[in-house]
Structure 1
Amino acid sequence: MAERLTTQQVAEQLGVKVETVYAYASRGQLSSERAPGGKGSTFDAREVAELAARGRRAPVRPAPGEAPAAALWGSEPVTVRTGLTLIENGRLYYRGRDAVELASRCGFEAAIGWLWGLGADAPVELRVPPATAEALARAAAALPDGIRLPDRLRISATVAAALDPLRFDLRERTVHAAGAALIAGMVEALPRTAPDPGPDASLAARLWSRLATAAPTPEALSCLDRALVLLIDHELAVSTVAARLAASARAHPYAVVSAGLGATDGPLHGAASPLAHRMLAEVLADGAVPVVSDYLRTGRPIPGLGHRLYPEGDPRAVALLDAVRRLDGGAAVVAAVADVEAAAGPAGRPELRANIDLALAAMALTAGLPAEAGEVVFAVARTPGWLAHAVEEYHEEPLRMRARAGYVGPRPQA
């Protein structure tokens, strides 16, 4: 019989608390059996020795303010160090500058320049080369009717990559140039539904012409620009982790963006806004109480409420809803958001306050944009953030975030 260790013995051998031992077991890193007599658990000494040899402490739940860690090849967990974005005391900062303040003063192009470390007065020119624009237009025209706009974004990244013979040049300046063209190309690949604002218009104006059916008011365009800035980066969100993993394998910037876009397709991340849009539209038609009650009765989470990184509420949502309130009809939509918060539960609970997904839905409903507009805005806005993280990762050791599995399948036959 293999030697068995008690929980206390395992904790002493690994140098961890007893609670951590049980956390290892719950995640499949150690297999446990009930001790004789049914009191406590025992563990395979060989598994414990292997875990100790790897020097791998499982990141069960990061401490407050601690960055998530990724496991290396058989060594200590690595903290992903970044000089881009900080979330602290309920606020969001880009390179030390408050994101809400930046969004109130700068457009999207200037915010990209700031995030990319080019300076406070270095807006990035977002232009797509004519040959690439023509190829993207041909690819878009070949797609069947009914293709969702977020799917068109993913296709455009693939087409743009195929047209760039220098895509494997990972020097920072080249990545920035490719990224600026890609961001513009993603918008260029969307069908135009409103008057063309012209080639010298801001990216927000060009994106508006792909989402709306009429020209924007100055207030509406400013609101969209603010949304883009507020979403440009968010530390190690799931799509950013996917992007950094791709960059760790030295994938080119287009592939990095494709990895990020793939992660945004889930309803728990970038695709959360359309769900909030549908719910808020129902609230505007039928009132908050019956709609929220139906969600609660059927056990469905109410979309667009709460964010675990903001214990006092999402500051991005507050800033964007303030801009929405100033649009024609915006006051009624923002009031509906407040009604949702009130109907969801007692006041003062941060998990029942609007997050950025619900704020995007409020913007889209007020401006008459389609339900998927929030998802498109999220993806376009986050692209420069993914590229900034890629530049950081290109300077790190390759493949440093290769995780190790906690195998729970059948053991090999002797």
Structure 2
Amino acid sequence: MSNYENLVPRFLRYVQVNTRSDEFSKTIPSSANQTAFLKTLMAELTEIGLAEVKYNDKNGYVTALLPSNLDKAVPTIGFIAHVDTADFNSEGVQPQIHENYDGQSVIALDAAGEYVLDPAEFPNLKNYRGQTLITTDGTTLLGADDKAGIAEIMTAMAYLVAHPQLKHGSIKVGFGPDEEIGTGADHFDVADFAADFAYTVDGGPLGELEYETFNAAAAHIEIKGKNVHTSSAKGVLVNALQLGIDFQNALPQAEVPEQTEGREGFYHLLRFKGDVEHATLDYIIRDFERTGLTARKQKMVAIANQLNQQYPDRVALTLTDQYYNMIDIMKTHMSVVTLAEQAMAALDIEPDETPVRGGTDGSKISFMGLPTPNLFAGGENMHGRYEYVAVETMAKATDVILEIIQRNAKV
């Protein structure tokens, strides 16, 4: 396989549409541009020839069915990707194509050379010698997370429709919103999707196969200060900003993303805003063990209580669980992982099953009753101006999707 005429044009078309999600929005999807893009995907799915193409107003998902062409029953597989991009400039994406990259040169993203992809800083570039890279122009993210996954799923479906001699069971496709703000899968309708198992196509480099993730929670802190004139402030003024600093300083200072790796968890201060009168802090909390996540939340409660003892009723902490480690579900559904492993092996791809220091929509969907590990989509340096993807990896991701489908047809 690996020769998909429309894969790259599809991807380039997708990434030029701004689909950034909005964490402060209360709508589903969180941004109107996601809805508009999802409607264009509906039209494309219909044009390709899929059935039951529909948009769910309640959860923002577009779903479709490729009916089985077998004379026997086999499990129905789902493939899922998200349309939104992260909180970095997504307007006016101008992808740059670099053919036959030599694996060692510095790639200038912008004309002035202010932003570059340097193998000395990004050593994974050395893995792409002789390949075609798609990068940003230095002013935006690229959007391979997860428009590479969308392009790969769409291309695989088009390939199957165009090659009816390839046998397959029923395939469900789902494109959804708001993965980047952690709410996209909250209302996913497992019963309506009607798959026996699924894969998100939302991973990084070649071979990633993820079925163990962080457990995750969010913390929001509201601090009430008391502002008076500094000339008479002693014993009266309460500086909300200082209490915010005290809260942050009471956390384990080495347990942050920039100082942890592997299976180590962390606290990450995302946002600190305010003035003397009022301040807010927003954190994400991550740990591979559920007991570890609980301990981290208890640590934050203890700090808030301690500050409130000193400054009564000044600190309000809200903790919200976001998702859990999908291994708790996948450990009893490892046949889904084995199928992906076998597909990769058949294509001479070495699976990388390193636990992911993050989460996917599959983390939530698995706990809803649909086992959903994550396959590689190809993106590197995601969520910023240094993002890139190799065309060859995107083609191999499409190969893996098709290989999984054909192997399932032989069950």
**Between Structure 1 and Structure 2, which shows a larger proportion of strand residues?**
2
Q: TM-score, normalised by structure 2?
A: 0.23
Question: Which structure has the higher relative contact order (CA within 8 Å, separation 6+)?
Answer: 2
Which of the pair has more CA radius of gyration?
Answer: 1
**Between Structure 1 and Structure 2, which shows a larger proportion of helix residues?**
1
Q: TM-score, normalised by structure 1?
A: 0.23
